[in-house]
């Protein structure tokens, strides 16, 4: 006969009694999280509406630019035809609307303004080729940065041309036209454009010539991404070497939050929520306004690159990456210098790569005001421990000197070698900046001593806005940011020697 029913263990009865309480707690936690998220999103939208000025047509207009699905089978000729239509649309729908009765003195979308790109004599917002005069020694794909345009690759491209290199400065989708173009562009479109460019350059120079990728900022991340894709999937012609200038290997981790707030953008009342900054568009070859989607894409791309570096490294295949030469300012408000060191160079195989750092001006008197994390990054790179890659630091020859020397350590060595460069810090400059590295002092727009342009072009590098406060339409710290590199001759010489080594 069956025995009397047995009672459930006390622990089981206690768990059963606790289960409704746990469910209620989880439900309350979920509601609290939803309320916090809604507060952040709505609060951010309200803040953007109050904080930012009214949007203009160049913020609202979104050109029908190329997307990844189109580019994977596209040729350069087809891409240029697309570009022609996009810039025709820009003239018809933005520039003609912007041409009011009173000409704006600093509006890149008004043909009467000194900021209009045509004042240079040619529109360097568009894709262009740099062709050497004689025999072609090699090819280079030149990749500009986020919110940037192919103009930023001009000086490096001319440097390579002097070494016999054919260069293709390729405009990334969403760039060179209006800031609104970056409200919908994704990094997958950009890497598809890189694949198109590499196919073209390899076909243009032939199979036996060196093939470089030179990437600035976001272009640096795309260069590394492309090289990793070639290693993992054989996705396109392999590059011989990489040259990276202020590469975007890491960005502030909160960049994704801006995209969450921007989800309110389709609601007319919150249309400014799509934007982190809305600034007058006075710069002929770079957007000043910054959409939240651009921040999101920089975070997505850099995160993907870091994860892929680790994945390829765990598979033991990083040794297949080409040698990398990178230039980076120790202080950089746009990208993480520490990520360039930790997430990229510290992971590379022993393949002759080298990292060049530009120090702060130790005679500027600003050293006590520099953030402490800068000193930590510098101390990591200037110790005497051996690393698999070479290191070079451009710094003051002494505490009482504006002259600059190169202090370098070869791969797998510990000895420091000093070399005089016959270069000096400008006395009023305490550091370089993220935007300065690819531009020489003679640049027509961004240089401190600009050469003459074809027309009366705005010269942003010569501005020295010291005067009354609250009278300028642009933040003073933006206008005072260093926009050209006094050590560009050194950068150019290093790039030239890098190309010489890459030749068979």
Q: pLDDT for 361-397, tens place per residue?
A: 988 887 777 777 666 666 666 677 889 999 999 999 9
Residue 407 has pLDDT above 60, yes or no: yes
CATH number reported for the structural domain that contains residue 101 in this entry: 3.40.50.1820
The answer to whether position 7 is within a domain reads no
The answer to whether position 133 is within a domain reads yes
Listed range (10-24, 34-48, 78-92, 254-268) with the worst mean pLDDT:
34-48
The answer to whether position 305 is within a domain reads yes
Is 143 in contact with 170 (CB distance < 8 Å)?
yes
**% of the chain exceeding 70 in pLDDT:** 82
Task: Quote the pLDDT of residue 265.
Answer: 56
Domain that holds residue 137: 59-259+276-322
Task: Quote the pLDDT of residue 294.
Answer: 93
Task: Quote the pLDDT of residue 85.
Answer: 94
Is 62 in contact with 180 (CB distance < 8 Å)?
yes
Task: Quote the pLDDT of residue 455.
Answer: 73
Residue 248 has pLDDT above 70, yes or no: yes
Listed range (129-133, 228-232, 269-273, 329-333) with the worst mean pLDDT:
269-273
Structural domains counted in the chain? 1
Using pLDDT thresholds of 50, 70 and 90, give the confidence band for residue 263. low
Gap between the Cα atoms of 120 and 453, Å rounded: 6
pTM of the predicted structure, to 2 decimals: 0.88
Task: Quote the pLDDT of residue 189.
Answer: 95
Biggest CA pair distance of the chain: 108
Helices (H) and strands (E) in the chain, counts: 14, 12
Task: Quote the pLDDT of residue 255.
Answer: 59
Region 263-270: mean pLDDT is 60
Q: How many other CB atoms sit within 10 Å of the CB of residue 252?
A: 14
Using pLDDT thresholds of 50, 70 and 90, give the confidence band for residue 217. very high
Region 321-335: mean pLDDT is 94
Using pLDDT thresholds of 50, 70 and 90, give the confidence band for residue 316. very high
Using pLDDT thresholds of 50, 70 and 90, give the confidence band for residue 472. confident
| Ordered alpha helix ranges (H), 52-139 | 57-60, 68-71, 76-90, 96-98
Relative orientation angle of helices 488-502 and 154-162, to the nearest 10 degrees: 50
Using pLDDT thresholds of 50, 70 and 90, give the confidence band for residue 102. low
Relative orientation angle of helices 10-51 and 255-262, to the nearest 10 degrees: 80
Residue 39 has pLDDT above 70, yes or no: no
Residues 414, 415, 421, 423, CA torsion sign: positive
Residue 346 has pLDDT above 60, yes or no: yes
The answer to whether position 365 is within a domain reads no
Q: What is the mean pLDDT of the chain?
A: 86
Q: What is the pLDDT of residues 151-194, one digit of tens each?
A: 999 999 999 999 999 999 999 999 999 999 999 999 999 999 99
The answer to whether position 33 is within a domain reads no
Residue 144 has pLDDT above 90, yes or no: yes
Task: Quote the pLDDT of residue 320.
Answer: 95
Gap between the Cα atoms of 220 and 57, Å rounded: 31
The answer to whether position 414 is within a domain reads no
Residue 484 has pLDDT above 60, yes or no: yes
Region 483-500: mean pLDDT is 95
């Amino acid at each position: 006969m069956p025995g009397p029913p047995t009672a459930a263990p006390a622990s089981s009865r206690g768990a059963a009694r606790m289960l409704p309480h746990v469910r209620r707690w989880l439900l309350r936690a979920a509601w609290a999280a939803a309320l916090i998220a809604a507060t952040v999103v709505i609060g951010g939208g309200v803040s953007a509406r109050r904080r930012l000025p009214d949007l203009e047509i160049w913020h609202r207009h979104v050109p029908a630019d190329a997307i990844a699905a189109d580019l994977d089978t596209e040729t350069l000729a087809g891409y240029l035809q697309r570009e022609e239509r996009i810039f025709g649309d820009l003239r018809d729908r933005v520039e003609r609307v912007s041409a009011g009765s009173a000409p704006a003195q600093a509006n890149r979308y008004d043909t009467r303004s000194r900021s209009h790109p045509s004042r240079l004599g040619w529109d360097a917002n568009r894709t262009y080729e740099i062709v050497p005069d004689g025999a072609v020694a090699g090819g280079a794909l030149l990749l500009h940065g986020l919110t940037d345009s192919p103009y930023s690759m001009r000086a490096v491209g001319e440097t390579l041309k002097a070494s016999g290199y054919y260069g293709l400065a390729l405009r990334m989708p969403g760039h060179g036209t209006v800031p609104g173009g970056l409200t919908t562009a994704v990094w997958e479109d950009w890497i598809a454009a890189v694949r198109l460019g590499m196919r073209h350059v390899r076909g243009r120079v032939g199979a036996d010539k060196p093939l470089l990728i030179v990437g600035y900022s976001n272009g640096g991340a795309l260069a590394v991404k492309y090289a990793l894709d070639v290693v993992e999937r054989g996705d396109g012609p392999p590059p011989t070497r990489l040259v990276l200038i202020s590469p975007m290997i890491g960005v502030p981790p909160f960049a994704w939050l801006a995209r969450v707030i921007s989800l309110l953008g389709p609601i007319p009342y919150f249309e400014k929520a799509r934007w982190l900054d809305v600034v007058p568009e006075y710069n002929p070859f770079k957007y000043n306004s910054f959409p939240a989607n651009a921040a999101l894409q920089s975070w997505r791309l850099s995160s993907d690159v870091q994860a892929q570096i680790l994945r390829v490294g765990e598979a033991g295949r990083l040794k297949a990456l080409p040698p990398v030469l990178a230039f980076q300012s120790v202080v950089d408000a746009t990208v993480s210098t520490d990520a360039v060191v930790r997430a990229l160079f510290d992971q590379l195989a022993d393949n002759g790569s080298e990292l060049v750092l530009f120090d702060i001006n130790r005679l500027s008197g600003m050293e006590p005001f520099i953030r402490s994390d800068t000193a930590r990054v510098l101390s990591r790179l200037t110790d005497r421990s051996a690393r698999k890659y070479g290191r070079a630091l451009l710094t003051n020859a002494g505490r009482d000197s504006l002259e600059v020397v190169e202090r370098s350590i070869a791969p797998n060595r510990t000895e420091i070698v000093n070399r005089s460069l016959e270069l000096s810090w400008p006395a009023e400059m305490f550091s370089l900046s993220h935007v300065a590295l690819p531009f020489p002092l003679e640049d027509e727009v961004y240089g401190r001593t600009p050469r003459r342009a074809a027309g009366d072009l705005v010269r942003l590098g010569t501005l020295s806005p010291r005067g009354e406060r609250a009278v300028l339409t642009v933040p003073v710290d933006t206008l005072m940011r260093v926009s050209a590199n006094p050590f560009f001759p050194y950068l150019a010489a290093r790039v030239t020697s890098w190309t010489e080594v890459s030749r068979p």
